[in-house]
A and B are shown apart, each in its own frame.
Chain A
């Protein structure tokens, strides 16, 4: 039995299935999955499926509901992941995917965490494997929040796209944070 759990996205028809400890198929858009999972694709129950690192992002057709199909998909996914070599995937242009994933995370769970702590985090730009974000609000002042948000985003993106991804955070005021950095050097 493969360890996995499903996480919501902003689209109710799309779920991120997070896989732990299994050998993953090659990353990219899945043309054909083996076994029952492939049948679900073929029958149009699943309209889109992508492998991002340790996640399989599955989108159901608008006529389906996850509450009804989840068990079936889970069993099929478990079976299919036992044969990672039998998946047919098309690798996709990285940057586009990367930018979309970063945007999704910042609009979704990571952004929510920032808001819960009283601040905001926004995407500045994505070039190749480098993602730049900007922190402001309460996050700007809090020594804990800045580093955890940045780490978290980096961790999530690396999970999907590999260890080459880096996330760098810039604060609303570069000079202030510079001074803060010097201060911590002294105070330490």
Chain B
């Protein structure tokens, strides 16, 4: 029952943890409520065998602990796709390894109750102890709707709690209630099973509760008149996209530099005390280098997630998806995949994580394995180097900087490839489920700071744990491969850059580089370039510094001069135009980034898809690079 005076409800202390599931439609404010109840103590994962994410958190009520599970948002317990089947199965206790909940918290948006009352009825049919939480209860009267909560509780036969999640209203009352599902009132009879009768039941219940539906939200209507206008809307859209990228590059970059500086300092400290020893090397280049790479990603990841979370919470994301749906539909995907693809222009990691908003698992997988083809920011240093080797800075084509045009073409190539790949997969191995494209456009609401913070925190946690460990491990392994065996005796007389080059040329990695030479020979890569390719598996930017080391450049971060002069074992110049073009094309398509692989693994809940992605992209890169080289040589570049 609702309660406006001192809380006098008794708390029944429980000795064992109760399991309570949150059920509700998408956009009902369920996740917000979940965060309010469990704080940041939620564990995220996947349901067994599917790509659907699972969140379980803990709530303390008195001395007892309650396990709260945030089930995926659903419109009905009649599943249409395998993902929705998960909710129905979880509630029935039919999922392996997932116990049936002891009680259910139904979360419904008070402003869309006429639609969601049928879901309420379906869940009550499960005959589990249930409580109904109504969210947006402040918005209802603001839009000239109303409801009698006590009458609703009588009509339903279960307790009803009004909650305003952002302001924390009603949370305490709910929290106390969650401690004692045994005393919750239960309905006298279960709502009818068949759809028409259930609709009739819902109508009757809402009539008894004197429910007056809200008027359309005027503010949203006014904003949408601009945001979804054929001309102004698209203008706003491009402006938002522009700001999106500007922020990444102008705000993230300085932060990244700061972190790089800090790590350099740390590295020099290690050098100072342990310089020259293997331990010093492992610690300095391997560990600090690895950690450094991870941390360098962090500002970008956090910023991207901040903006995605902001746009999502305000309500703009669904509008953007609405505008882009026609374009995405040509590839067999839908409007919401646009965000994932777009984010991948900065970094595929948040892009892949953003595929969670797609209801179809096949859409999710297709986007996950295509998105890395988008030209991410890590490719930029590589492209900059290669374009510099290929095209002189002063060259102009049709009045534009030739270097700029080349860059643009490379970006375009990546973007087009991603969309084509998605289209290919969606028309062959990942054909659509039956799910028609439908998407709610919720009213514009002020974003809740908690929701944003939690979204960023979750994302950062995943990135650090998954990608971070993989990158670190890869860095260490690569360091060992590239710096052992040490050649103290042989390098004693050489200058530092020459010594570094010597060690590298005779390292285990060099052995690998020579061994895979046949594979890359058609592209004109020599074994030294191959070492750099191997090295860039941890992160694409590493390619540049490794090439620098390999070519004994005095400044490995900008090895341009050294590379131009570099010759292979036969005395031929390595970086001829055809080879450089082949390298560019190779980088355009190859999946070089282990952190992307790690996040793919997590999001698709198996190694199958990341392995497939790595494989097909390698084949694509190889074929395209060889072809590009052949064409370039033929044309006489």
Direct contact of A and B (CB under 8 A): yes
Q: Is A121 an interface residue (CB 8 A)?
A: no
Report chain A residues within 8 Å CB of B215. none
Measured in the bound complex, the distance between the Cα atoms of B2 and A144 in whole Å is 13
Measured in the bound complex, the distance between the Cα atoms of B150 and A152 in whole Å is 10
Q: Is the CB of B5 within 8 A of A109?
A: no
Report chain A residues within 8 Å CB of B188. 6-8, 15, 66
Q: Is the CB of B155 within 8 A of A20?
A: no
Q: Is the CB of B150 within 8 A of A113?
A: yes
Write the chain A residue with the least CB distance to B188.
Answer: A8
Which of the segments A28-36, A67-75, A127-135, A172-180 contacts the partner chain? A67-75
**Contact digits for A7-42, partner B, Cβ 8 Å, 1 yes 0 no:** 110000001001111000000000000000000000
Q: Is the CB of B157 within 8 A of A2?
A: no
CB distance from B206 to the nearest CB of A (A): 9
Measured in the bound complex, the distance between the Cα atoms of B192 and A2 in whole Å is 12
Measured in the bound complex, the distance between the Cα atoms of B4 and A3 in whole Å is 32
Measured in the bound complex, the distance between the Cα atoms of B201 and A21 in whole Å is 12
CB distance from A64 to the nearest CB of B (A): 13
Q: Is the CB of B4 within 8 A of A117?
A: yes
8 Å CB contact of A3 from B5, B151, B157, B201: B201
* B172-212 interface (Cβ within 8 A of A): 187-193, 196-197, 199-201, 203-205, 207-208
**Contact digits for B1-29, partner A, Cβ 8 Å, 1 yes 0 no:** 11111101000000000000000000000
* A76-132 interface (Cβ within 8 A of B): 78, 109, 112-113, 116-118
Given A15-B188, A112-B1: A2 touches B200 (CB 8 Å cut-off): yes
**Contact digits for B498-516, partner A, Cβ 8 Å, 1 yes 0 no:** 0000000000000000000
CB distance from A22 to the nearest CB of B (A): 10
Q: Is the CB of A5 within 8 A of B205?
A: yes
Write the chain A residue with the least CB distance to B191.
Answer: A5
Given A117-B5, A118-B6: A3 touches B207 (CB 8 Å cut-off): yes
Q: Is B311 an interface residue (CB 8 A)?
A: no
Q: Chain B CB within 10 Å — which of A18, A74, A116 has the most?
A: A116
Report chain B residues within 8 Å CB of A138. 5
Write the chain A residue with the least CB distance to B127.
Answer: A67
Q: Is A169 an interface residue (CB 8 A)?
A: no
Write the chain B residue with the least CB distance to A5.
Answer: B204
Write the chain B residue with the least CB distance to A74.
Answer: B192
Q: Is A4 an interface residue (CB 8 A)?
A: yes
Q: Is the CB of B6 within 8 A of A7?
A: no
8 Å CB contact of A4 from B148, B154, B201: B201
Q: Is A1 an interface residue (CB 8 A)?
A: yes
Write the chain A residue with the least CB distance to B205.
Answer: A5
* B150-166 interface (Cβ within 8 A of A): 150-151, 154-155, 157
8 Å CB contact of A18 from B3, B190, B208: B208
Report chain B residues within 8 Å CB of A71. 192-193
Measured in the bound complex, the distance between the Cα atoms of B6 and A59 in whole Å is 38
**Contact digits for A147-188, partner B, Cβ 8 Å, 1 yes 0 no:** 000001000000000000000000000000000000000000
Measured in the bound complex, the distance between the Cα atoms of B5 and A113 in whole Å is 12
Given A67-B189, A70-B190: A116 touches B2 (CB 8 Å cut-off): yes
CB distance from B156 to the nearest CB of A (A): 8
Q: Is the CB of A3 within 8 A of B155?
A: no
Q: Is the CB of B208 within 8 A of A5?
A: yes
Report chain B residues within 8 Å CB of A8. 157, 187-188
A-B contact pairs, 17 of them (CB 8 A): A1-B199, A2-B200, A3-B201, A3-B204, A4-B200, A5-B155, A8-B188, A15-B188, A19-B204, A20-B203, A67-B190, A70-B190, A113-B150, A116-B2, A117-B5, A118-B8, A152-B148
Which 9 residue pairs of A and B lie closest in terms of their CB atoms, listed nearest first?
A8-B188, A70-B189, A3-B204, A116-B1, A3-B203, A20-B207, A20-B204, A5-B204, A1-B200
